[in-house]
């Protein structure tokens, strides 16, 4: 298993957020609607972070305070014919291998879980050939992390 390289400044995250917000609020542009979190991680998990997969869907990082576990799920904007979908989650300190779920899915990949209370995590996902990764995020205080888009 290869570990992904996750290095781009948080300025990319800010620029992507501003660009996405501009599209969503522009009267001339078609509405931009991201995939909603589908609850796949189960009861007690709340969304703590997310990253858009450029027009294809959204990767959600969730957390359960009760269990101390993070969970990742990648959700497609438009379920349909099976396409490659990937969800991945690992500790930023590389103390264990990342966990992932990949395959041809109609709606989403995951959930994948990691016990990471108070630890930074690296997470991301892909839909077809478009991927996003976030490194060093949610270190117990909602650190935004570093986003890489492919």
Predicted confidence at residue 41, as pLDDT, reads 97
CA 72/CA 61 separation, integer angstroms: 5
Q: Concatenated DSSP letters for 1-32?
A: -PPPP----HHHHHHHHHHHHHHHH-SSSPPP
Question: Which residues is 121 bridged to in the sheet?
Answer: 91, 137
Distances in Å between the Cα of 148 and the Cα atoms of 42, 81, 84, 133 are 27, 27, 19, 5
Distances in Å between the Cα of 139 and the Cα atoms of 10, 101, 117, 147 are 15, 23, 8, 15
Predicted confidence at residue 34, as pLDDT, reads 65
Edge to edge, the sheet with strand 69-76 lists: 46-53, 57-64, 69-76, 108-115
Which of 69, 150, 149, 87 has the alpha carbon at shortest distance from 123? Answer: 87
CA 31/CA 83 separation, integer angstroms: 24
Tell me the mean pLDDT per 10 residues along the chain, length 150: 32 33 32 73 95 95 94 96 98 94 98 92 96 89 50
Give the HSE-up count for residue 79: Cα atoms under 13 Å, Cβ half-sphere: 9
| Token pair for 59 | 């990767």
Predicted model pTM: 0.74
């Amino acid at each position: 298993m290869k570990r992904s390289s996750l290095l781009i400044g948080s300025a990319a995250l800010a620029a992507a957020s501003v660009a996405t917000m501009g599209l969503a609020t522009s009267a001339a542009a078609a509405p931009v609607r991201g995939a909603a979190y589908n609850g796949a991680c189960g009861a007690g998990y709340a969304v703590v972070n997310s990253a858009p997969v450029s027009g294809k869907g959204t990767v959600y990082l969730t957390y359960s305070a009760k269990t101390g576990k993070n969970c990742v799920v990648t959700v497609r904007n438009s379920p349909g014919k099976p396409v490659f979908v990937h969800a991945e989650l690992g500790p930023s300190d590389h103390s264990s291998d990342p966990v992932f779920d990949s395959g041809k899915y109609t709606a989403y990949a995951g959930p994948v879980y990691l016990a990471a209370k108070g630890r930074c995590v690296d997470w991301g996902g892909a839909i077809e050939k478009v991927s996003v990764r976030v490194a060093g995020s949610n270190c117990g205080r909602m650190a935004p992390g570093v986003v890489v888009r492919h």
